[in-house]
Structure 1
């Protein structure tokens, strides 16, 4: 949770909710340096001030009392006395006896030197969630910090800022054990968390310790299908047993979008009248929401999967476009065995980009269709929504047509209008498949 600033009274302190994870501070607006540290189980009155020693400013923080042991007014009066001593250059902690329960020095994460755990939670709640980052992006960062750097969670960030060799050694270790791409991704996350923490913790070393690493070389994966490969891919696709998954992979090829977003499309997101599919939470979160213009082949694909879903997954299909027997009700895994289907997921995204080029679609239009950021200053003045109903849909039609033309000359005759896909199986056939699945 994010730190708070409010006038501390018995009532406001009692109303503070315990932290769901980590800790947060509620700072008093009436007395600077007086605050309540709120954890998962308890609340503690804390005081923090600065004193000078040998010309250096040193931060002193200590426990005043547990909430409940003193009233807020009494705790503030005690904090004021402690702050006065700190300002005069005295460290009150040095003269306290361990037997005095009210003056036990506690090891609390400093605002000026937060632990990785505290810095991550502040970055997650104060930056990522505020910016509307998607759950997938947040979970990816969480995996880097809480799994790959789990043994560092309770270490202060200054430890790494003052000794970047620790970071370079961890990067090398992750490269060997987890791979070059994951190691680089983890370090990018650490770099972002450190930079965010230093905005408030100015005593942290200015040089980000991640700048010391030698980045692993990353190459764009070249896994797209070429025009000559599509006929064989369509043959594999038709052989897949689950018709919902067949239509999902086909739609991935026709749209060129990320599988994580398409799997979670709801029925309400389809607008057949406007011939659009709305993607409310793509990569980047709600602020990046956009609409996909639908070609005729894409519309037929969606109609088929909706009808198939009603038979195979009657309850789930009321909400989800690509339903499944899962806890969420929609497809949660799109991977196939490579022997069954050679290309899926982001392979098809690359294929869409490749075939768009072969179909003569302009580079800018491809960026717009795939919801990529638009390069160049002048391109930023283009309003995407104004192009959806005519220009971009025509380009989408051209790409779909080229896909099926390359897939097989015979497939065009199956449904007509270059749809390139078999007609919907009979309800009897689907019912038999449903009984086998059950």
Structure 2
């Protein structure tokens, strides 16, 4: 009896010490061998409940309240791909022994493991599954992207990835994706087949960014991003730039474009290396001919990356011709936009050309600008500054771009524009002279029958004059104008208006 009393006293002391430790750190639950003696020695809670888990049988525990102690079994019930935690009451300490409760707990846990919910089971409190993809995307868009001034084009690209390519996952909890990386990897494989390797990679990069942002405020999400298991498609940079030897062909094809505003837009892309999306939104108020600068207020990266493009003389001629053509074709829109059009927003929207009409346009011209800058002998840092790229290295980071615009960068831009224009007008032996004075054409001579002849009119089968006999492209069959087409996206003959405008001046 004395030994039993001593053992009970020692056990009570140990339990009291462990209870105090548990109070100091609630993250470490109480674990011990659940026997009749150890359970009887557990003190009742002063308020609320606490759990003492068995150290040898996971899922078996006793819940101690202020006046009672009860045995429970708890396990994860899988039904298909869904998992939920269920809890089964086995009995009170006064009604069943610890040994019997342990045997019953084993039976209940075995049934749960087989996917059979036991009778009388109670669903455990639902764990925090975190936000759905829809909720996480909305917060990422509003809090992260818009607040940091990301451009509308960047936000639209991310939106397309989430709301179109991952549309059926919008109401899926991120917890499900985090715990099933194979599900994400399989989806990437399917999208690679359906949408192409580049689009699939882009969608997964967007998902990765949204998940990482959501985990900052929901630590219950798995630490490993579910895109970690994706086998990324190989992406190769598109080598579509022109060299100096390609420029004569490009200038010939660009000069034959019948839409003068689009023609000047393509030329300015080549001379500035600007991104097409930013240049489409160029306004008249953004041009400062006195300082020879064109302001780009909302480039890639948002307004915080706004910068000025130094204007060479060929670039200023190009802008003046574009503004003059805009006033003649779209007088109302030309008050605001440099490259005006009869579109919903008032400026050019589409700038695509058929490759057999103009073999390089859009971002091809930006790559060409960088390539030709290297051929012209400009330094790498100068090209970074002129294209508004970040400069690598601590030392180069000390450079203040605005202090170089008025002299150094303007000189570099002038040299590069002269190189591009000169190389574009080079002719091999026995080749005919250039068909037109463009791109050195003064704005008042737009549409001039000698200096800026239009291509042969398919309706009359001959040109407007000014081209040497036998020169120029052959007459082509007329194309049917699509329903709803506007001057922005259709070749138009505005020569009579050009000449009328020139005669008034």
TM-score by length of 2: 0.62
Match of 2:193 in 1: 176
Match of 2:299 in 1: 282
Could you tell me whether the CA contact under 8 Å between 2:447 and 2:498 is conserved in 1?
A: no
Q: How does 1:50-89 map to 2 (within 5 A)?
A: none
Q: CA offsets per residue over residues 45-82 of structure 1, 9 Å max, x none? A: xxxxxx98888xxxxxxxxxxxxxxxxxxxxxxxxxxx
Q: Distance in 1 between matches of 2:495 and 2:434?
A: 28
Match of 1:299 in 2: 316
Match of 2:443 in 1: 424
Which deviates further from its counterpart, 421-430 or 325-334? 421-430
Indicate whether 1:225 and 2:242 are aligned: yes
Q: Distance in 2 between matches of 1:52 and 1:116?
A: 35
Match of 1:269 in 2: 286
Could you tell me whether the CA contact under 8 Å between 1:312 and 1:434 is conserved in 2?
A: no
Match of 1:239 in 2: 256
* 2:384 aligns with one of 367, 370, 375: 367
Q: Find the residue that maps to 1:277 and give its secondary structure.
A: strand
Could you tell me whether the CA contact under 8 Å between 1:413 and 1:420 is conserved in 2?
A: no
Q: Distance in 2 between matches of 1:394 and 1:361?
A: 11
Q: How does 1:143-154 map to 2 (within 5 A)?
A: 143-154=160-171
Match of 1:122 in 2: 139
Q: Distance in 1 between matches of 2:447 and 2:439?
A: 23
Q: Distance in 1 between matches of 2:391 and 2:408?
A: 17
Match of 1:317 in 2: 334
Q: Distance in 1 between matches of 2:274 and 2:127?
A: 44
Gaps of 5+ in 2: 1-48, 54-86, 88-125, 428-432, 449-493, 500-505
Q: Distance in 1 between matches of 2:447 and 2:223?
A: 69
Cα offset for 1:424? 3.0
Q: Distance in 1 between matches of 2:169 and 2:391?
A: 38
Could you tell me whether the CA contact under 8 Å between 1:412 and 1:420 is conserved in 2?
A: no
Indicate whether 1:329 and 2:346 are aligned: yes
Q: CA offsets per residue over residues 295-346 of structure 1, 9 Å max, x none? A: 0100010011111110001111010010111000001111111011000011
Cα offset for 1:391? 0.3
Cα offset for 1:432? 2.6
Q: Distance in 2 between matches of 1:379 and 1:414?
A: 43
Could you tell me whether the CA contact under 8 Å between 1:224 and 1:354 is conserved in 2?
A: yes
Q: How does 1:381-400 map to 2 (within 5 A)?
A: 381-400=398-417
Cα offset for 1:379? 1.0
Structure (1 or 2) with the larger CA radius of gyration: 2
Q: Distance in 2 between matches of 1:278 and 1:202?
A: 44
Cα offset for 1:425? 5.7
TM-score by length of 1: 0.72
Gaps of 5+ in 1: 1-50, 56-93, 95-108
Cα offset for 1:378? 1.1
Q: CA offsets per residue over residues 69-127 of structure 1, 9 Å max, x none? A: xxxxxxxxxxxxxxxxxxxxxxxxx9xxxxxxxxxxxxxx9986000000000000000
Closer/same/farther in 2, CA of residues 52 and 226 from structure 1, 3 Å limit: farther
Q: How does 1:399-410 map to 2 (within 5 A)?
A: 399-409=416-426
Closer/same/farther in 2, CA of residues 303 and 175 from structure 1, 3 Å limit: same
